Amino acid sequence: MNYSYIMQEKLDDDLYRHCVYTAEAAVSLAEHYGADAEKAYLAGIVHDYGKRYSGRELLHKADQLGLSLDQVTRKQEKLLHARVGAALLESELGINDSEILNAVVYHTTGREGMSLFEKIIFLADHIEKSRQYEGVDKIRKLAFRDLDQALLAAVDTTIRSVLARGLMLHTRSVEFRNSLLAEIGKNDYN
């Protein structure tokens, strides 16, 4: 199945381009850190599958699919697209690889105990070449020197952005940040 073509057909040009750039960044990171580059490309190209729907449509689809959603995810479309998108990838496109589906679910919030693959997709989404925000160049450089430091910088940027906009902050992002700090601190004492 040509997932790139499917995404091009279903997404607007800007979102499709973002997905292609995320897939390319994911491949680079996967090759650098010894993960499956082909699988990383697939996860990157499909990670925003759910973004083609409005918040209302995503809630309706979540209900149709019987998805259990926490309060923060229900209230925020930016989070909703990840969880519902992963379920739709499975039901509509037949993608059933748990690594890919988990990477899609957690690409917006992160989570404590993320796998290397999940971290790669999370970071690729943050550093793909069309992203422009304060600090992105620093994160891009860190991405190939110290994965956890790059992830920490990325999640810090996300948390600051969420707080600046007065939105609800998902506890998974806080737990992800804290787990990164604990891991980085553990490495400092070895």
User: What pLDDT does 130 receive?
Assistant: 96
Dist CA 164 CA 111 (whole Å)? 21
Whose structure tokens read 């091009």? Answer: 8
Q: How many domains does the chain have?
A: 1
Query: What is the domain range of residue 169?
Result: 3-188
Count of Cβ atoms closer than 10 Å to residue 65 Cβ:
13
In this structure, the chain runs to a length of 190
Count of Cβ atoms closer than 10 Å to residue 101 Cβ:
18
Is the pLDDT confidence value at 189 over 60? no
Yes or no: say if 184 and 152 are a contact pair by the CB < 8 Å rule. yes
Mean pLDDT, range 24-37, rounded to an integer:
98
pTM, rounded to two decimals: 0.94
User: What pLDDT does 127 receive?
Assistant: 98
CATH number for the domain spanning 123: value is 1.10.3210.10
Model confidence pLDDT, tens digit, residues 61-93: 999 999 999 999 998 878 999 999 999 999 999
Cβ neighbours for 94, distance < 8 A, ≥ 6 positions apart: 1
